[in-house]
Amino acid sequence: MGYQESLFYIKPQRHFDKMVRAYEKAEYAGYYEVAGAKPRSVIVLKQPVGELPAGTKLLWVCGDRSFHSPAGVFGGQLHIGGKIEVIPVEKLFDSPEDPRLTNIDLDSPQTTENDYLKRYSADHYAYRIKYDRER
């Protein structure tokens, strides 16, 4: 038990939007009213971070450590191929003051970005991919 922030990295990356749609389905079903962890942000790397190349998309998940698994976060809504690696945030970023997080507001519904990454709220990103599908 305890609070944790993690990044969900899916390989191959072509499954990323499907992972976000699974979040959207779980949200719609009311899963996060009882679940201990919830996706909060989508991060798109502009520069490599650790072993992750520029262009990598990550789902930033916050909440109870015991829920930081695909089953715990998506409540059975995730049915895709690919492999999800759960990366503790502190493995990629030194602290909230890490220069790669400068000007990134993890609590804002607005998109924020800097030279290292672009951050969307998970809800906004889910809306964007849904809107793109409908066009």
Q: Looking at 8-12, 17-21, 72-76, 99-103, which range is the least confident one?
A: 72-76
Q: Does the structure show a pLDDT above 60 at 135?
A: no
Q: Does the structure show a pLDDT above 80 at 68?
A: yes
CB 91 within 8 A of CB 50: yes
Count of domains for the chain: 1
Sheet holding 57-64, edge to edge: 83-88, 3-11, 57-64, 37-45, 117-121, 112-113
d(CA 67, CA 55): 27
Q: Is 108 or 65 the better-scoring residue by pLDDT?
A: 108
Q: pLDDT-derived band of residue 99, with 50, 70 and 90 as boundaries?
A: very high
d(CA 38, CA 116): 24
pTM value is: 0.91
Residue 19, domain extent: 3-134
